[in-house]
């Protein structure tokens, strides 16, 4: 069977899009740091806590640290929001 060029292009494009989507998902999963690596703890430190950090994402996560994050937690990557 003969496939015309435009059909072949569409097939190629669909394949590339699918490969890109898979790469994006796996990159996202690897992006975050494990809690142990940043000495994450479930309690504040010297008055500093996750809900005051620029990396905080309500209600219970963090832009850079993996897993469920307590708003009253803390880790060594803590960076205060501008007050």
One of 30, 59, 62, 72 touching ligand SF4 (CB under 6 A) = 62
C-alpha 54/C-alpha 52 separation (Å) is 7
Nearest CA to 64 out of 35, 21, 41 is that of: 35
Which tokens hold the place of 6? 């435009």
Contact characters 7-46, ligand SF4, x per CB under 6 A:
-------------------------------x-x------
Look-up of token digits 């003969």: 2
| Site of interaction with ligand SF4 (CB under 6 A) | 38, 40, 50, 53, 55-56, 62, 64-65, 69, 73-75, 77-78
């Amino acid at each position: 069977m003969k496939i015309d060029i435009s059909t072949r292009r569409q097939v190629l494009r669909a394949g590339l899009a699918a490969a890109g989507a898979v790469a994006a998902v796996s990159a996202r999963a690897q992006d975050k740091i494990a809690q142990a690596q940043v000495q994450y703890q479930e309690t504040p430190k010297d008055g500093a806590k996750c809900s005051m950090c620029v990396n905080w994402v309500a209600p219970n996560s963090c832009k850079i640290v993996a897993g469920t994050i307590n708003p009253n937690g803390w880790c060594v990557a803590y960076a205060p929001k501008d007050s």
